[in-house]
Amino acid sequence: MYEIPKKKMGWASCVQLQCSTCGWIHDFYTSANSPAAYDVSIRLVYAMKYTEQGYAGARKFCGLMNIPGVATKNNFHEISRRLITKVFKVAEDSMITACKELYADD
Ligand SMILES: [Zn+2]
C-alpha cells in the first residue's frame, strides 16, 4: 500500500493497494468525492471560512500540520463560492420552514 503523489487532489490522497502474490491493484481516495469537491477539501474551506482565516489561514494550518499539497488559491475560492451558495440555500429553506410552522399554528 502506498500513496500516488501524482493523483493527489487537493487534500485528498490517492492510495494504491497491490497484492504481492497475484498483482491485483486497487486505487482509492482518502476522502469521499462530491460534485463540488472532495469532502476533506470542503471541510477545510468551511473551517477556514468559519474561523475567518481564508486561504492564508489554510496555508498556515497545512504548514503547521505538515500537510503537503495545499489547494491553489483559485480552487479554494471556487470551493468557497460553492459552499456559500449551499449555505444560503440551507438558511433560506430553514427560514421558509420556520415561517410555515409559525403560520401553521394560527
Ligand atoms: Zn492477490
Return d(Cα 94, Cα 44) in angstroms, integer: 24
CA 81 to chain centre: 12
CA of 24 to the centre of ligand 1 (A): 5
Segment 32-45 shows an average pLDDT of 88
Distance 62 CA to ligand 1 centre (A): 36
Most confident of 2-6, 65-69, 70-74: 2-6
Local confidence band at 68 (pLDDT 50, 70, 90 cut-offs): confident
Say how many Å lie between the CA of residue 12 and the centre of ligand 1.
26
The domain spans of the chain are: 32-104
pLDDT at 35: 80
Here the cell at position 73 is 488559491
CA of 23 to the centre of ligand 1 (A): 6
Residue 70 pLDDT > 90:
no
What value does the mean pLDDT take over residues 69-73?
A: 75
What values do phi and psi take at 99, rounded to 5?
-65, -45
**Torsion angles phi and psi, residue 32, rounded to 5:** -65, 150
* CA 30 / ligand 1 centre spacing (Å): 22
